Amino acid sequence: MRTTATSTRSIETGHGRLVFPCFMPVTTFGGAFPLDVVARPYLSRFAPALMASHYYAQSMKKPERPNHPLFVDSGGFASLFEGSSVEEHGDMACICTKYGKPLHPAEVLTFQQEYADIGATLDFLIPPGTDEQEAKHKQGLTIKNALWAAGHHVVESSMRLFASLQAWNAESAKQITEKLAALNFDGFALGGMVPRVRTPKVIFEIIGAIREIETDRPLHVFGIGNPKLIRALFEQGVDSVDSSSFLQNAVNKRYLDPHRGEFVPLDEVGSAIKACPCRVCQTLDVEYLRLEGALNNLALALHNLAALHSYCGLERTE
């Protein structure tokens, strides 16, 4: 096994000790992505924690709550929905969308405290190209909501509170980390990196600036599913990432090559038995994975997850 992952951190959660580094497969609730329902019971065999967005997690019925460490994000990506707006109050800010009630920091925190093992504070995404003034404003609101959540996090709750970070370069990363590292957060979670995956240098600069200030507590990066980038982030001091790419690629019949760390069309895979030692490939081989059907896609998704773990040098829970 490779040993690229360097974190030795861990945290105690309401569903057991979570040891880093780790990859958190994304799962959704409410039927928007039917394969998630089929896949969910198997994910905990591979990964030590699952990620659910607050946006979808609200549809989770109590019996559906995985008996496994669960990270629930803030659903802050709703600020990018068309027609969404920010509603500022004295010490916090909400996101209003055309769909349903406003996303309020209190509602997010209450939900996380009831259902999540880790929750991230309500943030405001800053896409690449945002003008400096607007970017600073959104970062200020992200800081404000993190401070609000730190002050309202129920002490008795076993939910571990991670401060969401938003930054667009090293300097802005330094500013937000300096403000939030002074508080008693259990960890930090960097958002807004998905549209920056084609410029990993920018992401590395941001991570470097965060890690220069905050050296001890766990650092999560949202939405990263590219195995090569995951390996690089772990080497830079990131402790965990989450993504649904293993599943999306399965739906598109793409197979993660466990040696190259790249998703390739299944048609280009001659023999899965030769390509990969995982249980799926050793028992089902490529003809089965090529067939259309929920179980075939599930098998391919589980291979992709196993291959991601082996490529990134991660322990599996199984």
Positions touching Zn ion (CB under 5 A) are 276, 278, 281, 303
Shortest separation between residue 278's beta carbon and Zn ion, angstroms: 3
| Complex with Zn ion: residue 52 or 289, whichever CB lies closer | 289
Do the beta carbons of residue 300 and residue 289 sit within 8 Å?
yes
- Residue 69 beta carbon to Zn ion: minimum distance, rounded to whole angstroms: 25
For residue 214 the two structure tokens come to 């905050």
Choice between 273 and 294, CB closer to Zn ion: 273
Of 232 and 281, which CB lies nearer to Zn ion in the complex structure? 281
Residue 76 contacts residue 84 (beta carbons within 8 Å): no
Query: Smallest distance, Å, CB 4 to Zn ion?
Result: 19
The least distance separating Zn ion from the CB of residue 171, rounded to whole angstroms, comes to 43
Q: Give 143 or 301: the residue with its C-beta nearer to Zn ion.
A: 301
Q: Which residues contact 303 (CB under 8 A, 6 or more apart)?
A: 255, 256, 272, 276, 278, 280, 281, 289
**CA-CA-CA-CA dihedral for 181, 182, 187, 188, to nearest 10:** -30
Q: For strands 118-120 and 160-165, give the pairing.
A: parallel
Please say which residue, 179 or 303, places its beta carbon nearer to Zn ion: 303
Least distance CB 40 / Zn ion (angstroms) = 20
Residues 6+ away with beta carbon under 8 Å from 51: 24, 25, 26, 27, 70, 71, 72, 73, 242
